Structures are given as C-alpha cells and as structure tokens.
Amino acid sequence: MTTHPTEPIRDLAHLGHHAVFTPEPEATLSYFTELLGMNVVAVDGDAHYLRAFGDYESWSLKIVASDAAGLGYVSWRVVSPQALERRVSWLEANGHGGRWVEPDHGIGPSYEFSDPDGHLFRLYYETERYTAPAGEAPVIPTNFQRYAGRGANVRHVDHVNLLARDVRACRAFWEEGFGLRTYEIIRLPDDSEAGAWMSSSIQGHELIYTQEKTSGSGRLHHFAYLVDTREEVLRAAEIMADARVYIEAGPSRHTAIQGFYLYTREPGGNRIEVANGGYLVFAPDAQPYVWTAEEWAKKPGWGAPIPPEFHIYGTPIVED
C-alpha cells in the first residue's frame, strides 16, 4: 500500500563545493592535482581553488593552509533564490541561525550555519559556470572541459561523511529542515543511531553521519570523489601505492549503499575516498532500511574487513 506523506521539500539541488584545512598545503595540493587529477583554477593567499574535470561550476574544492587538518565547510546548492530564502527562514525560525558570507571566486552570496554537531555548512544559489580555456575545451560540447586522464582522474565530489555525537539529531535536522531522504540507518540496542545515509536526490548518499567515538565534535570522516568504473578504483590503488600514500581500506565494496571504494589519507591528514557505484532509489515513497547492530555486524555481501581505526580516526585529530 502506498502511504501519503506530506509534500516533500525539494529546495536542495546537490552537494556543492567544500573547504578543507591542511597543515601541509604543498603536499596536500600535490595529492589532489597529481594523484587525484584535479586542476588549480585560482590562488588567494593561503587558499587554493580546485576543480575536477566533471564539475560544471568554476571550482569545487578550497584547500586552506592551517595549523591542523579538518573540515572548513560543506555546501549545498539550492534550486532557486526563493529556495535559499525559504531554507534561511527555516534555520532562523528554528534556532539554527547563522550568517551571510560574501561571494567567493564566483560562488555566493552564501548562508553559513552549523548542524547539531557543529559542522559548518553553507547554502548558495548564485554560481559561476566553468568555461574551459583555449586548449581545454572538450570535443563533446555537453562536457565541461577536456577529459583529464591524469592520476586517479576523479570526475566530481560524490559524498561527505561526518562524525557526529548524535547521529539521530543530525539526521532529523536535515530531514525536517531540508527534505533530505534517508536511505539507510544503523540502529543500536539502546535505540541510538550509529549511521545514516542521506541524499537530496535518487543517489544513494550525498551526506552521511557516522557515530563519533571520541570526545571530539564537528569532525570530518571523509570526502569521496567519483570515478567512472571499478577498474579506475583499482587503478587509483596502484597510483597511491607507488606514491607511497597510506591506503587505509580497500579496494573493496561497502555494505551500505554498495559502492566500491579506496580510502587514503592526503598528506595533511584528511581521509579521502575514491569511489564508484552505489545504488539509485527511484521510488518516491521509499522508506529507509534500518539495520540492527547484530545484522550490521554480520556484514552481508562481500568485501574486506575495515580496520578498527576507520571508525575512530577523523580530522581534526583527537587524542583520547
């Protein structure tokens, strides 16, 4: 039987640009350009602005020199100026008010706010579309730039995973205020939640929260970048190994959302995933699958075990 939910909120278009801090800016920059295959499009003081070859916007990653690794912010592009007004009004009316941020290299103005765990987010609509310079124009005009073919050759950011002390509170925040759809949840015996996979679209995940196991808050677990095939994930593993970059997990296949993955840490310390696949959800009334702790522990399907540190390490680093 089909249920009749309230009218969904459809104000978020997709996961947007993001910023990361690094104490090793030159090495971090080399990781993203030489090993992942991204391009630098602008430099502003201690910040470098990068793009992947599949980005339609002028840039998607801001690398900022800092004393410690960690998350700068995550952003969402909204569907219209009116959508931006609606979501800002909801934030301010529900005790989550933030501040307006000036445009940044063609993107903005943006509204910055925090989720219940203290991670910074931004909402924006206005953006500068990328125009390939001479020599970089693609032969197929519906593409955005010439095929990069360098390093792991990532196409665009796929998702972000954030560590949270209260996964349920963060999930409810995005469901109620922004209409994100939750596709999978891990529920523990005490009724708390250890993980939630959410999206603004039919893509199985854009935003993930997993349980924070240290005294920290507002920490980054990882950003994931998409490649076109599983074979390219394996190729990325060869590239990272020869570059003597620490491979934390993979190549293997996830249980949740079922994507193929490789996890490394860039030289500044932030965890980065090279990813492919994951399911799509076409049913508009699909309900999240809720894993019990016992069921999740069995890890149905296949894939190499993930090391214990994977569930503890995040940036900034917390020494408990």
- Tens digits of per-residue pLDDT, 43-69? 999 999 999 999 999 999 999 999 999
Tell me the percentage of the chain whose pLDDT exceeds 70: 98
Question: Helix (H, G, I), strand (E, B), or coil: what is residue 234?
Answer: helix
Is the model's pLDDT at 320 over the cut of 90?
A: no
For position 70, what pLDDT does the model report? 97
What is the per-residue pLDDT for 7?
84
- Lowest model confidence (mean pLDDT) among 133-137, 150-154, 157-161, 281-285: 133-137
Q: Two tokens at 245?
A: 């970059």
Q: What is the pLDDT of residue 81?
A: 97
**Cα 253 to Cα 185: distance, rounded to the nearest angstrom:** 18
Cis preceding linkage at 316, omega within 30? yes
pTM beyond 0.85: the answer is yes
Q: What is the pLDDT of residue 3?
A: 45
Q: Of 145-159, 169-183, 233-247, 300-314, which gets the smallest average pLDDT?
A: 300-314
Mean pLDDT, the chain, integer: 93
CATH node for 12-142+152-311: 3.10.180.10
The backbone torsions φ and ψ at residue 232, rounded to the nearest 5 degrees and listed phi first, read -70, -25
**Residue-range domain boundaries for the chain:** 12-142+152-311
